[in-house]
Amino acid sequence: MTSNRVRPRIECSIVLVGLMGAGKSAIGRRLASRLGMPFVDADAEIERAAGCSISDIFELHGEAAFRDGERRVIARLLSRPAHVLATGGGAFMDPETRAAIRAKGMSVWLRADLDLLVSRVSRRSNRPLLAGGEPREILRRLIAERHPVYAEADVVVDSMDGPHEQTVDAVLDAIAAHLDVRRRETGPEPPSLGIEA
Ligand code: S3P
């Protein structure tokens, strides 16, 4: 079910950031369809470029090599026409990637609390950072380290523990509000708002 709310007209890529389990890919895919924009998953692109899974990249080459690849792939993706981009949880922690996102896109932090993250990541076991210990403790540490950096995003939205469309609605409202503020600051020219047909 989708609501008939105002649909922002977007002229730059929307980049979803946040921790593992925040719902970046699930929300991103639905957001892209509501906005009529292409959806791209950075982790899937990294796997495609490397020809193996993220777990294998970590195991065979180490985290530093993964981060190098992640930085390069995201820089390349940001040069594509406007799309919705879901990034891996560590991507926005890289200062170069953060600067590239700031220059070429609009960042949206999908914020989720520890309990929600733990319940979501427990459904899958493909995350190398969670493989070496107790997921709740690892995520608690990552929240302390990363939330202050994610807070630099242009837009912050709480990821809800309900139907995904509810969170997508909240993202659309937050993006529209952000564009409205930006428009008032920069004058009436685009980015501007359009009304959903
Ligand atoms: C990571 C998150 C993962 C993936 C990799 C590292 C992180 O993506 O990029 O395992 O550093 O938080 P998701 O956030 O999509 O799970």
- Indicate whether residue 35 lines ligand 1 (CB < 6 A): no
16, 41, 43, 120: residue to mutate for ligand 1 pocket, most atoms within 8 A of CB: 43
Ligand 1 atom closest to the Cα of residue 90 is 11
The tokens describing 76, both together, are 């390349």
Q: Which residue has the higher pLDDT, 79 or 191?
A: 79
Looking at every residue in the chain, the average pLDDT score rounds to 92
Report the distance separating Cα 118 and Cα 141, nearest Å: 13
Residues β-bridged to residue 182: none
In short, whether 88's Cβ falls inside 6 Å of ligand 1 is yes
User: Mean pLDDT, to the nearest integer, of 71-85?
Assistant: 97
- φ, ψ of residue 158 to 5 degrees: the values are -80, 125
Which atom of ligand 1 is closest in space to residue 127's alpha carbon?
10
Ligand 1: centre distance to CA 151 (Å): 18
Predicted confidence at residue 125, as pLDDT, reads 77
Q: Is 41 exposed, middle or buried (CB count within 10 Å of its CB: 0-12, 13-18, 19+)?
A: buried
Which residue among 54, 127, 139, 146 is best mutated to probe the pocket of ligand 1, counting the most ligand atoms within 8 A of its Cβ?
127
Query: 3-state DSSP helix/strand/coil percent for the chain, to nearest 5?
Result: 55, 15, 30
Instruction: Please name the residue whose Cα sits nearest to atom 11 of ligand 1.
Output: 90
> How confident is the model over 28-40, as pLDDT tens digits?
999 999 999 999 9
Q: What are the pLDDT digits (tens) for 90-147?
A: 999 999 999 999 999 999 999 999 999 999 998 877 899 999 899 999 999 999 999 9
